[in-house]
Amino acid sequence: MAISSLAVSALVWFRRVTSIVLRRGPKHNTAMAPFNLILCPNTPPLFLLPPPSSNQVRGWILSSSGPLKPASFSSRRTRHTRWGATADVKTEPLVGGEEDHNKVSVDPGVERVVADYEWTEEWYPLYLTKNVPEDAPLGLTVFHKQLVLFKDGNGHFRCYEDRCPHRLAKLSEGQLIDGRLECLYHGWQFEGEGKCVKIPQLPTDAKIPRSACVQTYEVRDSQGVIWVWMSPKTPPDVSKIPWFENFAKPGFQDISTTHELPYDHSILLENLMDPAHIPISHDRTDWTAKREDAQALCFEVTEQTNRGFAGWWGKKNEGSMPNFLRFEAPCVLQNSREIVDKNGEINYFTGLFLCRPTGQGKSMLIVRFGGTKRSPLAKLFPQWYFHQNASKVFEQDMGFLSSQNEVLLKEKVPTKELYLNLKSSDTWVAEYRKWMDKVGHGMPYHFGHSTISLPKDPAVVEHAPAGLVAGLSASSPAKGGIGTMHAPNLANRYFRHVIHCKGCRTVVKAFQAWKNALSAVAVALVALAILVSGRQWKALLLASASICSIGVYACSTAIAMNTTNFIRTHRRL
């Protein structure tokens, strides 16, 4: 409890000291506005500011299909004809419209529209490039497909089906030898386009059969993210790889984190599309998130296509919609905003969420918050501090999102029969589920607004050790106890984030090493203080031991901040 209080206090202090002010140009005749760095991954823009006047706010319509064009909120924004992304003749409306706050009116029905969609003919975000291990294979999944990603001897990224053709052992449990991927069951080795180049059990003069190869998947490294094309038959469409214009701008800096989460990717996307929950769920986690600020929001959908939707949103009582949101198939969500500083320079800010379905009831998220302007004070804080705060935010949501996942699987009905969506908060959620109606038939499973398709394949269950070994495995967050190959525990922050983050993993190991060293020194100093006879020497040695003890406590606190889950005060026993 003391550690959590310390973290929250430090975060609030950090908010205050890192707040900077951007003054609008004199021609806009507007007041100064605070500019606050957001550490909350669920907050759509990286920076929350009071809404500028409409002639200042511009958003970027981000697309992977071509060059990006700026769209001004006041003069360049256009309305697009709504298409019916529903599967019924009649659709359930959003509750709480301005026309009547006490009853629900039925919107005019539209004919069901179904779009061509094939989930394998898409690029999925696998991993942050910087976090891919240099010396070991990495097991990953997309829906129910198990993959193994590694870097070969030439520094090229390779992605295979995570299954040895010999006896179906996982290749991700293997090792890299001279840039080749070796199955640790019988030592078969693979390289390049999945070709088997070594079978130790074959006679020296025998040829390796052609059938002894593995299925390969195309991967690309784009803007610091590894993307995989999931179709083994259709050639990869490179034009579909998302390109994020703001991340390519000069001076753009981002903080990127990876999180594995115990609920479906569609529920994760819903949560990220829901700015209304931030003041309640993340009250005081961030300086700008306060439950008393919960209020009605306003939305405007400006684009709807077979590949997603886009539009503007903002707080209703502020009378403007400065935030631009875009969802694009299969799992890319971004919030963008532009701010004009006192010199007339435009600063670009983006919150980018790359969500990968990793199986039934599981997902992996790459979060990237960035901007072309950043407070110099932010550089004084290490990245692991931002990462642990991001983990805290996901833990605040995790309980009710997991329960939501359970209800959807139990009820087995479309969301329109379960959700009570509000026009003043749930517009993006409704749009997303209606998009699912349109393309869900091309996915392994989906939960739409009016349609539902349950998983046909049983969920993949990773088996962990039992009994005493299981207890020891769960006792130490740093290495999973005995060994490192045990099934990840998604209820544990270490397995959800730290093992996927090279920086945080290194930091935890360093703090552990310092903690052990300082503990040993403190014990040695106390022993010397007991042995020496001079009072001055005793005092000096005991004082030194006290300083080492403080260092031990600081290291323990830092380790706990990186590996201990957030628990709400009222939930503690």
Condensed to tens digits (0 to 9), the pLDDT of residues 181-229 reads: 999 999 999 999 999 999 999 998 899 999 999 999 999 999 999 999 9
Q: Residue 56's pLDDT is what?
A: 38
Torsion of CA 33, 37, 41, 45, to 10 degrees: 30
Count CB atoms within 10 A of the CB of residue 40: 24
Tokens matching residue 535: 């009072």
Calculate the average pLDDT of the chain.
80
Q: Is the pLDDT of residue 287 over 80?
A: no
Condensed to tens digits (0 to 9), the pLDDT of residues 495-538 reads: 899 999 999 999 999 999 999 999 999 999 999 999 998 999 99
Q: How far apart are CA 168 and CA 185, in angstroms?
A: 10
Q: Is the pLDDT of residue 12 over 60?
A: no
Q: What single DSSP character describes residue 332? A: E
234: Cα separation from own chain's centroid = 28
Count CB atoms within 10 A of the CB of residue 353: 24
Q: Residue 6's pLDDT is what?
A: 38
Buried b (16+ CB within 10 A) or exposed e, 3-17: ebeebeeebeebbee
350: Cα separation from own chain's centroid = 14
Q: Is the pLDDT of residue 469 over 60?
A: no
Condensed to tens digits (0 to 9), the pLDDT of residues 37-74 reads: 333 333 333 333 333 333 333 333 333 333 333 333 33
Tokens matching residue 80: 């697009």
Mean pLDDT score, 153-179:
95
Among 164-173, 320-329, 454-463, the range scoring the smallest mean pLDDT is 454-463
Q: Is the pLDDT of residue 33 over 90?
A: no
Q: Residue 274's pLDDT is what?
A: 95
Residue 248 buriedness (CB in 10 A; 0-12 / 13-18 / 19+):
exposed
Give the bridge partners for 370, in sequence order: 254, 350
Sign of CA dihedral 72, 327, 499, 148: negative
| Band of pLDDT at residue 458, cut at 50, 70 and 90 | confident
Mean pLDDT score, 92-104:
46
Local structure of 123: helix, strand or coil = strand
Condensed to tens digits (0 to 9), the pLDDT of residues 382-397 reads: 999 999 999 999 999 9
Condensed to tens digits (0 to 9), the pLDDT of residues 306-361 reads: 999 999 999 988 888 999 999 999 999 999 998 888 888 888 999 999 999 999 99
Residue 75 buriedness (CB in 10 A; 0-12 / 13-18 / 19+):
exposed
Cα–Cα distances in angstroms (integers) from residue 474 to residues 194, 282, 481, 505, 515, in the given order = 35, 28, 6, 17, 21
Q: How far apart are CA 370 and CA 351, in angstroms?
A: 7
| Band of pLDDT at residue 2, cut at 50, 70 and 90 | very low
